[in-house]
């Protein structure tokens, strides 16, 4: 994969082309991720039969940790990691009991955002 920063020399088959995945001597693939909040401690994600399964496990963990800033193996599959109720699973900043309403948007293009802003402006003028 270009730009992932992974090693793939292809000579002995021990390296994989996916971030967070390595091939074990048994032929299975191990996935792990480093947690920057805990001094780069390794978090074990499991052993998988294929490199793709291991890479997807890494992607899920990376997306949960870093959100839209995560560097993923399969960036086109982020819609699988976003859930409508994931705000309750994300760590809360600032004490957690702030009473502010949090709304997560999966993806909105500029036209939809403009329509929402116009609608909100009209509602404020009418009230």
Domain extent listing, the chain: 21-85+103-116
87 or 99, greater pLDDT: 99
16 or 85, greater pLDDT: 16
Query: What percent of the chain is modeled with pLDDT above 70?
Result: 66
Tokens of 105: 């948007």
Is residue 24 scored above 60 in pLDDT? yes
Mean pLDDT of the chain: 75
Residue 93's pLDDT band (boundaries 50, 70, 90)? very low
75 or 3, greater pLDDT: 75
pLDDT tens-digit series, residues 6-18? 544 344 445 679 9
The structure's pTM equals 0.55
Tell me which long-range contacts 28-31 makes (C-beta under 8 A, separation of at least 24).
29/53, 29/54, 30/54, 31/55, 31/57, 31/58, 31/61
122 or 7, greater pLDDT: 122
* 21-85+103-116 CATH, one of 3.30.465.10, 3.30.730.10, 3.30.70.260, 3.30.460.10: 3.30.730.10
Q: What's the average model confidence in pLDDT over 28-57?
A: 92
């Amino acid at each position: 994969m270009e730009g992932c920063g992974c090693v793939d020399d292809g000579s002995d088959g021990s390296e994989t082309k996916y971030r967070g995945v390595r091939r074990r001597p048994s032929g299975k693939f191990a996935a792990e991720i480093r947690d920057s909040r805990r001094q780069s401690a390794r978090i074990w994600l499991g052993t998988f039969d294929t490199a793709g399964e291991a890479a997807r496990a890494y992607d899920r963990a990376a997306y949960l940790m870093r959100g839209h800033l995560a560097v993923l193996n399969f960036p086109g599959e982020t819609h699988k990691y976003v859930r409508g109720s994931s705000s309750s699973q994300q760590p809360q900043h600032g004490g957690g009991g702030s009473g502010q309403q949090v709304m997560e948007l999966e993806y909105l293009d500029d036209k939809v955002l403009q329509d929402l802003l116009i609608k909100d402006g009209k509602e404020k003028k009418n009230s």
